Amino acid sequence: MKVLVPIKRVIDYNVKVRVKADNSNVDLANVKMAINPFCEIAVEEAVRLKEAGTATEIIAVSIGDKSCQEQLRTALALGADRAIQIETDQNLDSLHVAKLLQKVVEEEQPQLVILGKQSIDSDNNQTGQMLAALTGLPQGTFASVVKVDGDKVNVTREVDGGLQTVALNMPAIVTTDLRLNEPRYASLPNIMKAKRKPLDVKAASDFGIDLTPRSTLIKVTPPSERQAGIKVESVDELVEKLKNEAKVIS
């Protein structure tokens, strides 16, 4: 079966972002970028399905300007077979991303689409669910275990009270939680091989989708700064402060 893995280029998760002085957005100039951690887990899961003989082909897809080819090459080095870049300079809403991916799903007809549960920049947690709605497919979000069983896939989901397992008719959409797997590192020979794997570039404007923004970003501000407090010397002092100064315990 074919597996489609949409991935996103985002700021590296270790970088502490700075808000621009004019409050128009965060400053991404000269900041280290990487594949979104949840997307990396999605790639790893697809590769494991292929290694287990369940998946036959893995297609990685990313939407963005030319620079996202770097993340697609990473996915290829990790084990994806081919890649598609949908080129646009525009900052898209999740709904637009889902609509573009819907077209890719229609064309490629994958049995499984594995996405990250959220990107660590916009923190929306929407795209997988929207893609599932647009394609009319069932969804297994926040997955910590994915088991393909004939024409169904069993997904164990991380929910508020613990875990929930659902059975989905395939084709299906899965979004990954952090505990699904531990992504591997790309080896140097695989990085070299990835350079020769096919990478198709398509223009977002060719998909015939209205990409007019659905929202306006009015401003971006830094969060209110928390001041470092004091260090106490003893447990007695701590308890005393909590009782009498902070008044949070009685």
Partner 1 sequence: MSILVFAEHDNNELKADTLKTVAAAQAIGGDINILVAGANCSAVAEQAAKVNGVSKVLVADNAAYEHQLAENISLLVTELAGDYEHIIATALTTGKNFMPRVAALLDVAQISDIIGVESADTFVRPIYAGNAIATVQSLDSKKVITVRATAFDAVATDGNAEIVALDTVTDAGTSSHVSDELTESERPDLGAASVVISGGRGMQNGDNFKLLEGIADKLGAAIGASRAAVDAGFVPNDMQVGQTGKIVAPDLYIAVGISGAIQHLAGMKDSKIIVAINKDEEAPIFQVADYGIVADLFDVLPELEAKL
Quote the least distance from Cβ 241 to partner 1, whole Å.
6
Quote the least distance from Cβ 35 to partner 1, whole Å.
16
Quote the least distance from Cβ 210 to partner 1, whole Å.
10
Residues 176-215 that bind partner 1 (CB under 8 A): 177-179, 213-215
Instruction: Indicate the residue among 109 and 187 with the shorter CB distance to partner 1.
Output: 109
> What is the Cβ-side half-sphere exposure of residue 97, based on CA atoms within 13 angstroms?
24
Query: Can you tell me the distance from the alpha carbon of 116 to that of 206, in angstroms, rounded to the nearest whole number?
Result: 26
Instruction: Indicate the residue among 122 and 190 with the shorter CB distance to partner 1.
Output: 122
Instruction: Indicate the residue among 198 and 213 with the shorter CB distance to partner 1.
Output: 213
- 161, 185, 188, 196: which one contacts partner 1 (CB under 8 A)? 161
Cis preceding-peptide flag for 171 (omega within 30 of 0): yes
Classify 59 as helix, strand or coil.
Answer: strand
Amino acid present at 114:
I
Confirm or reject binding of residue 19 to partner 1 (CB under 8 A).
yes
Q: Please provide residue 33's backbone torsions phi and psi, each rounded to the nearest 5 degrees.
A: -110, 160
Burial (0-12, 13-18, 19+ Cβ within 10 Å), 23: exposed
- 66, 91, 151, 163: which one contacts partner 1 (CB under 8 A)? 163
Q: Please provide residue 241's backbone torsions phi and psi, each rounded to the nearest 5 degrees.
A: -65, -40
- 22, 53, 123, 150: which one contacts partner 1 (CB under 8 A)? 123
Quote the least distance from Cβ 201 to partner 1, whole Å.
26
Confirm or reject binding of residue 129 to partner 1 (CB under 8 A).
yes
CA distances from residue 212 to 204, 209, 240 in whole angstroms, order as listed: 12, 9, 57
Confirm or reject binding of residue 34 to partner 1 (CB under 8 A).
no
